[in-house]
Amino acid sequence: MTTNTTDLAREALERSLEVRDEHDYDYRSPLCVYELCDKARVSVRFVDDVSMEGVYAALSKPSIILSSLRPLTRRAFTCAHEFGHHVFGHGSTIDELKDEAEREVFNPEEFLVEAFAGYLLMPAQAVKRAFSSRQLRMDDATPEDIYAVASSFGVGYETLIGHLAYGLRYIQRDRAETLRKTKLPKIRERILGERTQEHLVIADRHHAIGTLDAEVGNLVLLPEGAETESDRIEPVKDLVAGRVFRAVRPGLARVEAEGFGVIVRVSRMQYAGLARYRHLEETDGE
């Protein structure tokens, strides 16, 4: 196996496109990694374990275990990372929470699957389309714009920036450093017009897939005039940028606005259990 990072990145990119092909995903849209794992017959389970990011168990029925205590976007990326260990046949792997120093020790398998996860979730075509459809340029989009694009891929703000700078090389490193200086509470405050501790997920008019994942307590920014008949999410306030809802109970909320439709899938905060059941509605008495 090569340890040259350019070769590893190319291998990761090629395999990510093959995997999309094999499971009938195009190269220009975000995907739900849990749905992909389901199609690939890899089970995904969340557990409330603070010590690790994720585990890949290469059993006769392969499975991925993720910490439910990590942020929603982090979990999705780690799932793609663990799925990388599966598709590259690395065998069972435990990814513990690492500090900076430990991360800097170069490990070719870890580099490979980390690059794979980036290309799988954020293919070049899909990233270009996400910016152009919003009439944004990568060189001067604001942190709020970048946050909205990251949300459209279900990944974190810094994850998208890292992928733009190091995976796709669409932006310069100093541009990435500048963007990283704006922290999430400030970005949320600028978008919402007030400070909040809650996580914010966004589906704007250019949201390219039919679903959006949220957890109970999260704020959900949807286009202006968005309406739902569901009681899983409740409207909070109207902004120029759209209508803010709060996710209040697990289940599916179909939302519509003029020329727009999305299903918001709400799961319990830090839900533990199988990923495929994460947004099952809870019945009374549970």
Min. distance of Cβ 96 from Zn ion in angstroms? Answer: 9
Q: Are 144 and 190 in contact (CB under 8 A)?
A: yes
Nearer to Zn ion, 95 or 145 (CB): 95
Min. distance of Cβ 83 from Zn ion in angstroms? Answer: 10
53 is a site residue for Zn ion (CB under 5 A): no
Min. distance of Cβ 265 from Zn ion in angstroms? Answer: 26
Nearer to Zn ion, 78 or 218 (CB): 78
List 95, 204, 213, 215, residue binding Zn ion (CB under 5 A): 95
Nearer to Zn ion, 86 or 278 (CB): 86
Candidates 110-118, 133-141, 166-174, 229-237; binding stretch for Zn ion (CB under 5 A) = 110-118
Counting Cβ atoms within 10 Å, is residue 146 exposed (0-12), middle (13-18) or buried (19+)? buried
Q: Cα separation of 89 and 67, whole Å?
A: 22
Number of residues that bind Zn ion (CB under 5 A): 2
Min. distance of Cβ 80 from Zn ion in angstroms? Answer: 11
Q: What is the DSSP letter of 227?
A: E
Q: Cα separation of 201 and 241, whole Å?
A: 13
Candidates 57-65, 95-103, 145-153, 234-242; binding stretch for Zn ion (CB under 5 A) = 95-103
Nearer to Zn ion, 117 or 202 (CB): 117
Q: Are 29 and 36 in contact (CB under 8 A)?
A: no
Min. distance of Cβ 95 from Zn ion in angstroms? Answer: 4
Between the two ends of the chain, the Cα-to-Cα distance in Å is 50
Nearer to Zn ion, 167 or 251 (CB): 167
Counting Cβ atoms within 10 Å, is residue 135 exposed (0-12), middle (13-18) or buried (19+)? exposed
- What is 116-160 written as a DSSP string? HHHHHHS-HHHHHHHHHHTT--TTT--HHHHHHHHHHHT--HHHH
Which long-range contacts link 17-26 to residues 24+ away (Cβ below 8 Å)? Answer: 17/119, 17/123, 19/87, 19/120, 20/120, 20/123
Nearer to Zn ion, 107 or 172 (CB): 107
Min. distance of Cβ 184 from Zn ion in angstroms? Answer: 25
Nearest residue to Zn ion, by Cβ distance, number only: 95
Candidates 31-39, 87-95, 152-160, 271-279; binding stretch for Zn ion (CB under 5 A) = 87-95
Which of the residues 111 through 170 are near Zn ion (CB under 5 A)?
none
Nearer to Zn ion, 110 or 213 (CB): 110
Within 8 A by CB and 6+ apart from 6, the residues are none
Residue with tokens 């005039």: 225
Q: Residues interacting with Zn ion, by CB under 5 A?
A: 95, 110
